[in-house]
Structure formats: C-alpha cells, structure tokens
Amino acid sequence: MQMVRAAGPPAFLYGVETIGVSDSTLMGMRSAVASAVTHDAGGKNPDIALLACDGPAGKVDPAFLAHSYPVQYWALAWWERWFTP
C-alpha cells in the first residue's frame, strides 16, 4: 500500500492542477489504484477498497488530490502574486 501511495496518485495526477480531470478518467484512475491495493478484488468496488485502505488520514484515493490540487494551486498563485487582481 505504501508503494501505491507513493507512486500511484502522483503519477496519475501529473498536471491536474492546471487542466483538471474528467469524471470518467478519474473513475479509471480510482479503479486502477484500488486494483493495485487490493489485487484479490481486482478493483471491483473502488469506493470500499479505497475507504478500507485510506482510513481516517490516508490519501491513496486519487479523488482527494484531483479535487484539491486546482484550488490549492490557484490559492498559491494568488498568495504569491503570480498575477494581478
């Protein structure tokens, strides 16, 4: 699980902070990560598999970063004044 956490979501989500990701692509990413984490289940139910692996503080599920990266980097750009108001 630690290997998937270290390599999975960062590889899938490269550049998502600028262009975002579609729902169907995100579902494919979630299924691939769930399949890698729970190889016996084969990614059949990514919601349950990722919930069981994540626990209260984990971030194995790529949906967390896919939803937070655009807002996080927009706020960083505003804070560091990359553009004028």
- Domain tally for the chain? 1
In a domain, residue 45? The reply is yes
pLDDT-derived band at 24, boundaries 50, 70, 90: very high
Q: What is the pTM of this model?
A: 0.75
H or E element, residue 34? helix 23-37
In a domain, residue 85? The reply is no
With 90 as the cut, is the pLDDT of residue 75 above it?
A: yes
Return the pLDDT at 79: 93
Structural domain that includes position 71: 2-79
In a domain, residue 84? The reply is no
